[in-house]
Amino acid sequence: MIRWEDLGLPVNITSAFPCTINRGIIDNFGNRIDLPACIYVDDAIMLAVSVDHMKMVLAAMIEAIFVVMGEPNELVRQCPLAMDKWLELIVGPRQMVLGLIIDTNKMTVSIPAKYRREVLQLLDTTWHSSR
């Protein structure tokens, strides 16, 4: 069910500098550091260093949803896993989270062009020019 973004080659990756909060994903011995997924209401940001690792991270996220919300039982309640989001999901370094575009290869956060246009149009049509 999960689709993967075809990145093509080469992929330009911007190196991040570790700090006291974000220390990186590889330790001094070259071993992967397991990082927690960040969940906000019904969105999650997950990081993995390979496709196999991402499959494990996604499986752990699904398990966590069922542990917190209960096993699927649609006779009693709707499924806690938002299947529409999983069917739309394309795993890749560029994702929309909370209305922002996060690109983990470029290390950027941006506002979608459509959202920017809508806000500018709202500003132009709602307030007069001296405001």
The overall average pLDDT reported for the chain is 83
Structural domain for 17, as ranges = 3-91
Q: Are 57 and 37 in contact (CB under 8 A)?
A: yes
Mean pLDDT calculated for residue range 95-115: 89
**pLDDT of 113:** 93
Where b means 16+ CB within 10 Å and e means fewer, 43-62 reads: ebebbbeeeeebeebbeeee
**pLDDT of 9:** 66
Number of structural domains found in the chain:
1
Model confidence at 116, in pLDDT bands (50, 70, 90)? very high
Q: Are 22 and 65 in contact (CB under 8 A)?
A: no
**pLDDT of 114:** 93
Residue 116 belongs to some domain of the structure: no
Residue 7 belongs to some domain of the structure: yes
Residue 62 belongs to some domain of the structure: yes
Residue 9 belongs to some domain of the structure: yes
* Partners of 44 in beta bridges: 39
Residue 103 belongs to some domain of the structure: no
**pLDDT of 28:** 84
> Which two tokens mark 67?
């542990």
Residue 38 belongs to some domain of the structure: yes
Q: What is the pLDDT of residues 5-35, one digit of tens each?
A: 887 767 777 877 788 887 777 888 988 887 7
Residue 97 belongs to some domain of the structure: no
Mean pLDDT calculated for residue range 91-103: 86
**pLDDT of 112:** 93
Residue 109 scores a pLDDT above 90: yes
